[in-house]
Amino acid sequence: MSLPPLPIEERVSPDAVSPPLGPERVLQSQRIAAAIAGQVLDLPGGRLTQLAERFGLAALDADVVAILWVGAFDPELRARLIGGEPTTGQITVRLIAALFGHPPRVRLASESALLLWQMVSEHPLIDGSAALSLDPAILAWLEGEHELDRCLAGRAQLLEQRELPIAWPVEALARRVQEGLRRGQRWRLHLISEDPLAARWCAAAFGAECGLLVLAVPSGALRAEPDAAVRLQRQAFLDGCVPCLALEDAALSQPCGVLPFPIQILHGRGAPLEVAPELHDLVCELPGPDVEERERLWRALWPECAAWPAQELADLALCHEAGVADIAAVAASAPASAGQAAEALRDRLRGELNPLVHRIDGRFVWSDLVLPPATETRLREIAFEARERARVWADPAAARLFPYGRGLVALFAGPPGTGKTMAAQVIAADLGLDLLAVDLSAVISKWVGETAQHLQELLSSRAAQRSVLFFDEADALYAKRVEEVRDAQDRFANVDTSHLMTALEAYPGIVLLASNLKGNIDSAFLRRIRHVVEFARPDAAARAEIWRRTLTGLFGATTCAALASDITRLAQLEASGAQIKTSALSSVFAARRARQQPNLTLLAQMLSRELAKEGAGLSTRDLAALTEGVP
């Protein structure tokens, strides 16, 4: 069966009706009455003519539709018709063929367009003929009522065109498809995107460029309907609307036994489509919105954001690589501030967290860090690059010069307890992103290739790419390669390390590494890292400041002020920031247990316990010397 494509010039819309609907049915009724009287009445073209042209109906098929259409509204005429079938008392093909002078038939042909397109159903009768009934959707369309087929109702919807704040190549796509349609070609447009809302926006804009509506079907909505493909394509021809389907529902674009609508739209990311002989494929990858487009999206979808501080809105668009669906969903929650919007964006990602990571819920800010000025400056440089890099890589010249290594990777190296993890928390909080700590025990595997596979799975996740990844003890993952390969195990270990380096180099997100053993990390990997920040043990002044801040937070400013001279003494003892904070926390519980205020003796004892974990605890004599002269 051949079916002519929908002409571009026709551009069907629900309002394109000629001649008037009421008179057409009346004229068809007069034509049938004339046929009963043995006369022939020619009618001008109308809805029935359009139906016959779009679906390739034969003359007998068109007459069947006319009889069933008029008979549904004119019981008297129907009764006169049935009088011609006294045996069956039903409207049959035999009756219609005899009435209009067609060759005698008992049933519709197997390849009748009416059956293939499920416009008419045959109900077998005992004499071998069949009673006929017209599909309700066809009856409604002939009456000018543009309602959805019953299997589509509540599942499919016409897309609303909206002004696009994103530069997608809609005009070029529409131009190419229209040129092909004029040559009688059929097209299948594949919009590659993981954002279904963005794809639907683009599809609606494409349809508008072609002068056609777009009918979108949510993923999986029609899987339980056995005849969904035919009915969807039939709806497309009836109302001149382009089906828009998820990639996993591509089968709906290829109905069995009939040709599909001249344009199909698929969206999603997955395996390449199978070749369809009757369709020309056009593939277009939809990039996510860039920084400026994200800001325009916020303003378009949530106009109230115009009242937010301009810098906060700019940071929201800059730091959060959100897609159209993400921004639309958060905007629908009516965020009162950019901070609330950022938190809502993070919440959307948390449901997608890979089991190889866990979120560190840190709330540290820059003022919580006690570091040498040079170290803090390096950390602020990293935070600035993390915020600004989207704009840099949007420059085609920069992107061309650096096809790889566009991610941000920084290594924090230094002894335990010197603030490496806290620095990672501060940077993530400054960017408004979640900090995801990688579980190395789950990533590293003894099986060849499995470690790289685990890491690749993690790095490819959307949640990871829109957060800050934190690898503690990174030397365990990127250890030096074996120089003298002696067996297969050494060779496989080297291959694994190379794969891990390549995976991280190709990663577009933000990765912070921490290591107590920088010397154990492969030198080739170190060369790939743009930022290496050394964390030193705090000096006496830094230790005193850590004591003051921690005790103020735990005991209050008044108690801390009373301990000022004691803090100076405690700061003379070498300890890391983590050891000081843990000692202060232990002092809280010890003081409560003893029902007393903290003092130098109590604090020194708690610090001694902490230092003893590394074999450097204070002896009784050391404690006495420290507290000598203190009442």
Nearest to 569 by CA among 537, 601, 591: 601
**Is the four-CA dihedral 592, 596, 600, 605 of positive or negative sign?**
negative
Nearest to 13 by CA among 126, 161, 155: 161
- Check residue 629 and give left, alpha or beta (phi > 0: left; psi -120 to 50: alpha): left
Q: What share of the chain is helix, strand, coil (3-state, %, to 5)?
A: 50, 10, 40
Global pTM value: 0.78
Q: Residue 7: its pLDDT value, please?
A: 37
Nearest to 250 by CA among 286, 223, 288: 223
Residue 1, pLDDT above cutoff 50 = no
Q: How many other C-beta atoms are found inside a 10 Å radius of the C-beta of residue 245?
A: 27
Concatenated DSSP letters of 170-212: HHHHHHHHHHHHHTT--EEEEEE-S-HHHHHHHHHHHHHHHT-
Worst-scoring range by mean pLDDT, 445-459, 574-588, 606-620? 445-459
Alpha-helical (H) ranges within 227-372 are 228-239, 291-301, 310-319, 324-332, 338-350
- 191 and 287 in contact (C-beta within 8 Å)? no
| Buried-state track 545-556, b at ≥16 Cβ within 10 A, e below 16 | bbbbbbbbebbe
Instruction: Show Cβ contacts of residue 486 under 8 Å, excluding neighbours closer than 6 positions.
Output: none
Q: How many other C-beta atoms are found inside a 10 Å radius of the C-beta of residue 481?
A: 18
Mean pLDDT of 358-375: 91
Q: Residue 265: its pLDDT value, please?
A: 96
Instruction: Tell me how far apart the alpha carbons of residues 65 and 138 are, in angstroms, rounded to a whole number.
Output: 9
Residue where the block lists tokens 């447009």: 189
Cα-Cα end-to-end distance for the chain = 105
Nearest to 514 by CA among 420, 431, 593: 420
Mean pLDDT of 564-586: 91
pLDDT mean across residues, the chain: 86
Higher pLDDT: 15 or 377? It is: 377
Give kind and range of the element (H or E) at residue 557.
helix 557-562
Confidence of residue 41 (pLDDT cuts 50, 70, 90): confident
107-to-79, 98, 103, 511, 577 alpha-carbon distances in Å: 21, 13, 12, 71, 91
Residue 55, pLDDT above cutoff 50 = yes
Confidence of residue 32 (pLDDT cuts 50, 70, 90): very high
Nearest to 320 by CA among 433, 197, 459: 433
Residue 22, pLDDT above cutoff 70 = no
Residue 18, pLDDT above cutoff 70 = no
Confidence of residue 19 (pLDDT cuts 50, 70, 90): very low
Instruction: Tell me how far apart the alpha carbons of residues 331 and 300 are, in angstroms, rounded to a whole number.
Output: 10
Q: Could you read off the pLDDT of 199-222 as tens digits, one per residue?
A: 999 999 999 999 999 999 999 999
- 512 and 470 in contact (C-beta within 8 Å)? yes
Q: Residue 328: its pLDDT value, please?
A: 94
Strands (E), 228-271: 241-246, 263-267
Residue 605, pLDDT above cutoff 80 = yes
DSSP 418: S
Worst-scoring range by mean pLDDT, 78-87, 149-158, 438-447, 516-525? 438-447
Residue 21, pLDDT above cutoff 90 = no
- 295 and 319 in contact (C-beta within 8 Å)? no
Q: Residue 14: its pLDDT value, please?
A: 39
Nearest to 355 by CA among 508, 445, 458, 466: 458
Mean pLDDT of 301-314: 94
Higher pLDDT: 304 or 461? It is: 304
Give kind and range of the element (H or E) at residue 360.
strand 357-360
Nearest to 586 by CA among 611, 621, 614: 611
Instruction: Tell me how far apart the alpha carbons of residues 180 and 203 are, in angstroms, rounded to a whole number.
Output: 18
With 0-12 / 13-18 / 19 or more C-beta atoms within 10 angstroms meaning exposed / middle / buried, residue 240 is buried
Instruction: Tell me how far apart the alpha carbons of residues 391 and 382 are, in angstroms, rounded to a whole number.
Output: 15
Give kind and range of the element (H or E) at residue 124.
strand 120-124
Nearest to 320 by CA among 434, 240, 231: 434
Higher pLDDT: 139 or 9? It is: 139
Residue 128, pLDDT above cutoff 90 = no
Higher pLDDT: 506 or 135? It is: 135
Q: Residue 393: its pLDDT value, please?
A: 82
Sheet with 510-515, edge to edge strand ranges: 357-360, 435-438, 468-471, 510-515, 408-413, 531-534
Worst-scoring range by mean pLDDT, 209-223, 229-243, 262-276, 319-333? 262-276
Mean pLDDT of 383-396: 88
Worst-scoring range by mean pLDDT, 19-28, 95-104, 222-231, 361-370? 19-28
- 56 and 11 in contact (C-beta within 8 Å)? no
Q: Could you read off the pLDDT of 577-593 as tens digits, one per residue?
A: 999 999 999 999 999 99
Mean pLDDT of 225-235: 94
Instruction: Show Cβ contacts of residue 342 under 8 Å, excluding neighbours closer than 6 positions.
Output: 316, 319, 320, 432
Q: Residue 261: its pLDDT value, please?
A: 95
Q: Which amino acid is at 393?
A: W
Instruction: Tell me how far apart the alpha carbons of residues 148 and 91 are, in angstroms, rounded to a whole number.
Output: 27
Q: Residue 276: its pLDDT value, please?
A: 75
Instruction: Tell me how far apart the alpha carbons of residues 51 and 29 are, in angstroms, rounded to a whole number.
Output: 18
Mean pLDDT of 89-99: 91
Residue 455, pLDDT above cutoff 90 = no
Residue 11, pLDDT above cutoff 60 = no
Higher pLDDT: 325 or 487? It is: 325
Confidence of residue 447 (pLDDT cuts 50, 70, 90): low
For a pLDDT cut of 70, what percent of the chain falls above it? 91
Worst-scoring range by mean pLDDT, 70-84, 453-467, 588-602? 453-467
Q: Could you read off the pLDDT of 480-524 as tens digits, one per residue?
A: 544 444 544 444 444 456 666 777 777 888 999 998 888 777 777
Tokens of 514: 């921490």
Q: Residue 585: its pLDDT value, please?
A: 93
Residue 13, pLDDT above cutoff 60 = no
Residue where the block lists tokens 């709806």: 235
Q: Residue 449: its pLDDT value, please?
A: 66
Q: Could you read off the pLDDT of 456-474 as tens digits, one per residue?
A: 888 888 888 889 999 888 7
Q: Could you read off the pLDDT of 245-273 as tens digits, one per residue?
A: 999 999 999 898 899 999 999 999 887 77
